A and B are shown apart, each in its own frame.
Chain A
């Protein structure tokens, strides 16, 4: 049964290498002769924030492949609602319930490339990204682009540069922390996880007289939590 898998994968790899048109590439993840753990990569689709980036995907071939799908996750960090920004885990039916044994590693990689063009925030893998995409589309596009430049090697476009400089938009790590105004980031982000902006949360903290605790994280207790939540909800 396992030689079955090896034989098919061998053909698939040869097929991917013979096809220079799709710009998909595949290589062994570790040892050269181990075809059960691969690294695939493809260019970010044009007309998306991912354009110009190169995306690497960790591909593991299960024992009963092709009857079960290859196990895939993004190695390159991606800001996309159907891909975990933390782990690279992917939410795509083709790679789970809708898998069919006539599909291939190449077709799966093409599906992932397609997924970058067609984000589906209503069926999210990363709730935070999905929420940003639905509520602040411009901010979503900006962060997605920033991640593409930072992690996927996408070239920053000249107009993006000048825009950033003139608007002073490119937030550095320091700027980001400044937004927290001395409060611990995790403490604030716990409210951010509910869908509030950092500035809103910090403002509510200040008005509720929350202790900065020297920038360390701590438990606010149910009373303060309730008070801040009520302020954030405008009650």
Chain B
């Protein structure tokens, strides 16, 4: 039997390149989901990967870091939070 493809639809899924079951420690939502203020996951609601090894939704972390009481520290390990700038190039 010969089949002729008239049309096909490609479907792809994605997830952040970190363990799938991990949640953002601040909002407790999975990284592949959004922070509580966003509607669409992905580039619009990206992650920040800390040099200390702890990651968060960017919006969650920025809300924390903007608070004076955070003293600029990682919520997990209380080291100064600095994020890896290479994220964009890694993704590309």
Q: How far is the CB of B30 from chain A (nearest CB, A)?
A: 11
B64–A4 contact, CB under 8 A?
no
Q: Report if A7-B78 is in contact (Cβ < 8 Å); known contacts: A97-B69, A101-B25, A101-B64.
A: no
Q: How far is the CB of B42 from chain A (nearest CB, A)?
A: 20
With CB as the reference atom, state the residue of chain B lying closest to A102: B25
A8–B69 contact, CB under 8 A?
no
Chain B residue contacts of A102, Cβ below 8 A? 25-26, 75-76
> At the interface, yes or no: B67 with Cβ under 8 Å from chain A?
yes
Q: How far is the CB of A72 from chain B (nearest CB, A)?
A: 17
Size of interface on B: residues with Cβ below 8 Å to A = 16
Q: Report if A4-B27 is in contact (Cβ < 8 Å); known contacts: A102-B75, A102-B76.
A: yes
Interface centre among A1, A97, A102 (most CB of B within 10 A): A102
Chain A residue contacts of B69, Cβ below 8 A? 68, 97, 99
> At the interface, yes or no: B41 with Cβ under 8 Å from chain A?
no
A4–B78 contact, CB under 8 A?
no
Chain B residues in contact with chain A, CB under 8 A? 25-29, 36-37, 60, 63-64, 67, 69, 73, 75-76, 78
Can you list 12 pairs linking A and B with CB atoms under 8 Å apart? Answer: A1-B36, A3-B36, A4-B36, A4-B37, A7-B27, A7-B29, A8-B28, A99-B69, A100-B75, A100-B76, A101-B60, A101-B75
Q: A67-B64, A100-B73, A101-B75 are in contact. List 16 more A-B contacts (CB 8 A).
A: A1-B37, A4-B36, A8-B28, A8-B36, A66-B26, A66-B27, A67-B63, A68-B69, A97-B69, A99-B69, A100-B75, A100-B78, A102-B25, A102-B26, A102-B75, A102-B76
